[in-house]
Amino acid sequence: MTWFQVLLLGIVQGATEFLPVSSSGHLVLARYWLGWPDPGIALDTVLHVGTLLALLVYFWRDLLTLAQAAWLSLRHRSLEDPQARLAWALVLGTIPGVLLGVIFEDTIEALFGAPQAAAGFLLVTALLLTFSERFGSQGRALESLTWRDAILIGLAQALAIAPGISRSGATIAVGLLLGFRRNDAARFSFLLAIPIVGGGGAYQILKLLITPSPIVSLSTMGLGLLAAAFTGYAAVTSLLAFVRQRGLYPFAIYCATVGLVTLAVILL
């Protein structure tokens, strides 16, 4: 792949990562529609690291507070501080995604070369977003988060490893169905992305250092990473306000439209 192709995919990744429309699905479909080669899951993961950098910059104060609270909870063996409970809930919610990623790594990688799967999973995302908007009560604050809530939202994140199922869409939707306010569900979703994306990115980069990709050079991947980081930061600063004011219905309609059009072109 050329630097221009990877740069454009980085922009697509950054623009869609924090929207509930599946950035991985868009990367798969962008390559399909443009007729570009499939670089495998490695490039996708590296581009996700770019949006991870955007999250680290945007939430650095929150992360510092959570780290301090978690450390103090260990020293005093207490979970009275809501920030400490939130920090450990993020750890707990990350476990399902790690387990699913390790167990089904080869199966998931194969899906990144299947545009019909990404299109079909976009329809699943559309249904999930619509269902959560229709039936979510949206009255709970994030301080009321329980271990059960963390596990359920973590399971949603684990299923979103498949391209087309939006990670942010799935986790926000389950948060709404558990009764959390949109803004709080989105905040927990973004914070929950940090450990899973960071771990997956480190793993894929280590693999690339050992066995470089024959399709994309490391320097070209670095360009895509930076593009995803800058575009992602611009996206995350606006999404919270948009979701709070408009809800998830527009994204559900968008996912359904893209999924149906792509399936129609592939099957017909």
- pLDDT, residue 28, reads 86
State the number of CA atoms in the 13 A half-sphere of 18 facing the CB: 33
Q: Which letter, b or e, does each residue of 69-102 get, where b requires 16 or more Cβ atoms within 10 Å of its Cβ?
A: bbeebeeeeeeebebbbbbbbbeebbbbbeebbe
- pLDDT, residue 214, reads 67
- pLDDT, residue 259, reads 92
Mean pLDDT of 76-92: 89
Q: Is the pLDDT reported for residue 123 higher than 90?
A: yes
Average confidence score pLDDT of the chain: 86
Q: Is the pLDDT reported for residue 164 higher than 90?
A: no
Q: Is the pLDDT reported for residue 211 higher than 80?
A: no
- pLDDT, residue 18, reads 79
In this prediction, what percent of the chain has a pLDDT beyond 70? Answer: 94
Beta bridge partners of 140: 180
Cα 57 versus chain centre, distance: 16
- pLDDT, residue 244, reads 66
State the pLDDT confidence band at 172, using cuts at 50, 70 and 90: very high
- pLDDT, residue 246, reads 74
- pLDDT, residue 25, reads 86
Residues whose CB falls within 8 Å of the CB of residue 18, separated by 6 or more in sequence, listed in order = 51, 168, 190, 232, 235, 236, 239
128-140 pLDDT tens trace: 999 998 888 778 8
Helix%, strand%, coil% for the chain, nearest 5: 80, 0, 20
| Residue carrying structure tokens 């009275």 | 80
State the number of CA atoms in the 13 A half-sphere of 95 facing the CB: 10
Q: Is the pLDDT reported for residue 229 higher than 80?
A: yes
In this prediction, what percent of the chain has a pLDDT beyond 90? Answer: 35
Q: Determine the angle formed by the axes of helices 249-267 and 115-135, rounding to 10 degrees.
A: 150
Mean pLDDT of 152-178: 91
246-261 pLDDT tens trace: 778 889 999 999 999 9
- pLDDT, residue 213, reads 65
Residue type, 147: W
- The span from the CA of 23 to the CA of 239, in Å, is 14
Distances (CA, A) of 52 to 106, 119, 163: 23, 25, 17
- pLDDT, residue 128, reads 93
- Tokens of residue 199, six digits: 């771990």
Q: Is the pLDDT reported for residue 191 higher than 70?
A: yes
Q: Is the pLDDT reported for residue 32 higher than 80?
A: yes
- pLDDT, residue 139, reads 83
Residue type, 68: Q
pTM for the model = 0.87
86-116 pLDDT tens trace: 999 999 999 998 888 778 767 776 777 688 8
Phi/psi at 140 (5° precision): -90, 145
